[in-house]
Amino acid sequence: MTNLLTKSSRSVEVNAAPTAENVASPVEPAIETPRPAAVPKRGAAIRVSNLSKLYKIYRKPSLILKEMVLRKPMYQPRWALRDVSFEVGRGELVGVVGANGAGKSTLLRILAGTLDHTEGSFHIDGQLRAILQLGTGFHDEYTGRENIYMGGYCLGYSKAEIQQSEEWIIDFSGLRHVIDHPFRTYSSGMKSRLTFAVTFCRKPDILIVDEALSTGDLAFQQKCTNRILDLCSGGSTALVVSHSMFFIETLCSRSLYLRDGELVADGPSREITQMYEKQLLSEFALEQERTRGSEPASLATSNADAPAFPLDRPSVVREPIVTATDVDREDDDPTYPPLPPEIQELLDDPEDVCPAILHLELVRLVSLRLFDSDGQERDLFRTGESMTAEITVDSRVRKDNVAVGVQIFNEADIHVLTSTNLTQLDEEGKPSPQQLNIRRGVQSFRVEFPQLFLCDGKYHIGVGIAPKPKHFTPADQLLRKWRVKSFGFYREDLPFKQIYDPPSRWCRVSNGGSHSS
């Protein structure tokens, strides 16, 4: 039960891990006698100085024995952390961001005491409680109520303290109806609820949470967030790892950015998350370039056949308005044969039952590309800019009046918008459906957002094509792809995170009702 942890004040400092397997080599200093760590300056709850963690990668087990005999390093070094230094003051709520493998979990595990470090030092001043993985550390055969006591004892609570907190834990977790059921019957979200409630039912000096709030429903995540804020407002210190930049900006005033085991930035959360997102988008753009460079020649030719930009568009709009245009042929490609009668009957659906046809792969997605108002392909846009999505498909189907749509989700997988040719709005915000037809062969559809007021962050776009306006599930669609492409929007001057950023006008109104600037 090492994932629910409580630690008292301690200092640790080494220059190299004092184990028999650490052999002096060009990449690892010789062992020195550990010396006491310096006492952190007043007000610091966590102090980390030049902290490093080295993993030794052996190509085969026999090299370990060979290394012991020859006294010569036979491993490939991999630094999970390298010379990381920072301090966290009392009452601070600090986020840790970075890609997978950046060293975030390694850092938290070292601070929590479940992993040894190789070099450097750290000092924890106060009682620390850590959740390194929600839903673990409890016994599956015990009931939820019994696990409250088991987990509480592991955290160092007395029986009297657990009894005092028992009702709060049950209420916070919302599991009163199953609290006496075996823990193995709980879903992962229910386990998360109980684990968090037990761990933070009482006020610790220091909280460490590693991606724990990424599980559970949105309501539970909000309860956890409010609990952490309450604890920190009461003087607790928190170090939180999350891949949700929206969560980090909402919760933390300061963040650390780890990349390849190194601390590359430490500052206000807004600045750090922007730096991290730009790095992700840059890497994504490079990956997209490599992908496009490896496309078959036939695909490159089909994309090149699309009409040139820009499309006609309204000059000024105050809300995101969608227009769509079928940009390819009205005739079928003669090289594509008609569908077999039994498949065509499913497509026609004379009984209007919306049969499952997705598995037949009658329409295949070739590409999805994003363009700005100048017709330049881009993956990063400024808030309020025009964005056009071009969907290229290879179809075996001839069908009139299909429904073509896109869905956009933010980095927290919150549904931001859906646009289809049948539900689009005109400049005045009125419904303006447009008929689109699909033909046999390669063709493209475009949807234009003349001004898209998405907020700063990373987004994902999905695509769907249904054979008619009515449908029940993704299975009765011709095409359904959830995460086709990632893209980003940015706005440097906004000091907080949100979902929608519409144009607005502010003024002061005097008591007499007149406006003044």
Can you tell me whether residue 368 is helix, strand or coil? strand
CB of 18 within 8 A of CB of 213?
no
pLDDT tens figures, 99-157: 888 999 899 999 988 889 999 999 998 888 887 765 556 888 999 999 999 888 888 88
Distance of CA 380 to the CA centre of its chain: 17
Which residue spans of the chain are classified as CATH 2.70.50.60? 317-490
Which residue spans of the chain are classified as CATH 3.40.50.300? 4-133+202-268
Q: Which of 39-53, 105-119, 277-291, 419-433 bottoms out in mean pLDDT, i.e. has the lowest?
A: 277-291
Distance of CA 40 to the CA centre of its chain: 34
pLDDT tens figures, 450-482: 999 998 888 999 999 999 888 777 888 999 998
pLDDT tens figures, 381-416: 989 999 999 999 999 999 999 999 999 998 777 889
pLDDT tier at 302 (50, 70, 90 boundaries)?
Answer: very low
Predicted TM-score of the model (pTM)? 0.58
pLDDT at 293: 59
Residue 501's contacts (CB-CB under 8 Å, 6 or more residues apart) are 383, 384, 453, 454, 455, 491, 494
| Across 299-324, average pLDDT | 36
The CATH number of the structural domain formed by 4-133+202-268 is 3.40.50.300
The CATH number of the structural domain formed by 317-490 is 2.70.50.60
Distance CA 444, CA 329 (A): 9
Q: Which of 92-106, 319-333, 365-379 bottoms out in mean pLDDT, i.e. has the lowest?
A: 319-333
pLDDT tens figures, 181-227: 999 999 888 888 898 889 888 888 898 888 766 555 667 777 887 88
Distance CA 313, CA 58 (A): 60
DSSP code at position 280: H
